[in-house]
Amino acid sequence: MEQHTITEILNRPISRELLSRDLLRLAYVAKDGTPRNIPIAFTWNGSQIVLCTTKNAPKLHSLRHNPQVALTIDTEVHPPKILLVRGRAELDVVDGIPEEYLQMNGSYEMTPEQRVEWEAEVRSLYDGMVRIVITPTWAKLIDFDTTLPTAVEELVRQRAERQQA
């Protein structure tokens, strides 16, 4: 998929709304060769999706072996709004706590006192983390109004062709 097409899809209002959510689902191939799909907090920096994890997370071995990932960000209402993204994960080991981690977890409701306690606990637990930086190589927005799943689009096209015949 061309970069300008990816950018256009990710800049749509519904995509931007979805990219401001708290969680996405990360799909990757695990160490044993089977698929995994996990919920994980994320942040969007305008061109990349950033996840943060512990330095001993099992997914890191898998992502080093096969960095290809698929992401889903969606809503829980009907009809759902769904943003599908594929990309390549790059791993960046950092000392301390990445700002993105504090940002993505800062959206939860906490009093200022709870926030101070939470951040102190995080800083005492982690001596470093791994930033998983995903650059989109493919994207599709499904809103069931202007866009549909590919298979449904095909059925709609076939029905229209039958009706014209």
So what's the pLDDT on residue 112? Answer: 87
Reduced to 3 states (helix: H, G, I; strand: E, B; else coil), residue 72 is strand
Looking at the predicted structure, is the pLDDT value of residue 160 above 80? yes
Q: What are 127's two structure tokens? A: 């001596």
- Domain CATH for 47: 2.30.110.10
**pLDDT tens by residue, 55-86:** 999 999 999 999 999 999 999 999 999 999 99
For range 98-118, the mean pLDDT: 83
So what's the pLDDT on residue 111? Answer: 87
Number of domains in the chain: 1
Full residue range of the structural domain in which residue 112 is found:
3-164
Contact 41, 51 (CB under 8 A): yes
Please list the alpha-helical segments (H only) found in the chain: 3-10, 13-19, 58-65, 99-105, 112-125, 150-164
Looking at the predicted structure, is the pLDDT value of residue 106 above 80? no
